[in-house]
Structure 1
Amino acid sequence: MKAIHTDLAPAAIGPYSQGIIVNNMFYSSGQIPLTKDGDLVGESIKEQTHQVMKNLQAVLEEAGASFETVVKTTIFLKDLNDFQTVNDIYSTYFSTHKPARSCVEVSKLPKDVSIEIEVIALVK
């Protein structure tokens, strides 16, 4: 088992890792729309979704994985009415490769953000 850390994504805000590799699988912690310096990005779901995807890309690359090797994503939304906007942005990152996915509405997310996403990926 190997913990993953990159300075290109926000540090964990609690007692956890940005992700863990077990055998050839990478399990990310949920990413929220913080910059690598820990600053909250934007108030719109568009800005927040793009930042989350950038953070995921950084931890995936550190783990030796990529969006192309993601097998499952889980999206947590504060408001399911944002689903279509998030889906439109998400599809630009997963244009040809379409991993399995779940999307759920939750009552609250860390730092009161609008979105959190976690991934499971194969390590190259």
Structure 2
Amino acid sequence: MTGDETSVRAISVQSAPAAIGPYSQGVVAPPYVYVSGQLPIDPATGELDGSTAAVQAKRVLANLEAVLEAVGLTLADVVKTTVFLADLSDFAAVNEVYADRFVGAVLPARSTIEVAGLPRGAQVEIEAIAAIRAS
């Protein structure tokens, strides 16, 4: 990270879908970065990407990673996630994708919640909190 390490600022990148409401893609609030819930939207087309929860989870994690990369972080810096599923029966499929992307000795804390619906008819949404590591 560069610049004032104590100031709160919004993250806005074109490599992840634009916010679809009055919120930021992410917020840097040292010592953490808060990434808004990412949907399986292809940032190039603005369209939902994938017809299964597993395929959608791959796009969601790629979008989440794009927001983190904008501030020099990776999925390895994530300390907490919340996974929202439209159908809890997709838990195993999404968990398999999640386990491929989050590896290491310390995995993020996580909550998984079944919801009545997600924006744009998505099956998966994931939000994250990442820690800014001291240089």
Counterpart selection for 2:61 from 49, 53, 56: 53
- Between the aligned partners of 2:109 and 2:128, the Cα distance in structure 1 is 10
**TM-score after normalising by structure 2:** 0.89
Deviation at 1:9, TM superposition (A): 0.5
Which residues of 2 match residues 11-50 of structure 1 at below 5 A?
A: 11-37=18-44, 38-50=46-58
The secondary structure found in structure 2 opposite 1:10 is: coil
Per the TM alignment, residue 24 of structure 1 is displaced from its structure 2 partner at its CA by 2.1
- Conservation of the 8 A alpha-carbon contact between 1:25 and 1:120: yes
TM-score w.r.t. length of structure 1: 0.96
C-alpha deviation, 1:91, in angstroms: 0.3
Aligned-pair CA distance for 1:30: 0.2
The answer on whether the counterparts of 1:41 and 1:48 sit within 8 Å (CA) in structure 2 is yes
1:47 is displaced (CA, Å) by: 1.2
Give the ranges of 4+ consecutive aligned residues of structure 1 lying more than 6 Å apart after TM superposition.
none
Please give the alpha-carbon distance, in whole angstroms, between the structure 1 residues aligned to 2:114 and 2:54.
17
Of the two, which has the highest radius of gyration?
A: 2
* Structure with the higher helix share, 1 or 2: 1
* One of 88, 102, 125 as aligned partner of 1:116: 125
Identity of aligned residues (%): 47
Give the match's secondary structure for 1:29: strand
CA displacement at 1:42 relative to structure 2 = 1.4
Distance in 1 (CA, whole Å) between partners of 2:119 and 2:85 is 11
Deviation at 1:46, TM superposition (A): 1.5
- 1:102 maps to what in 2? 111
Mark the runs of 5 or more structure 1 residues left unpaired by the alignment: none
Q: Say whether the 8 Å CA contact 1:63–1:123 is kept in structure 2.
A: no
**59, 68, 72: which one pairs with 1:64?**
72
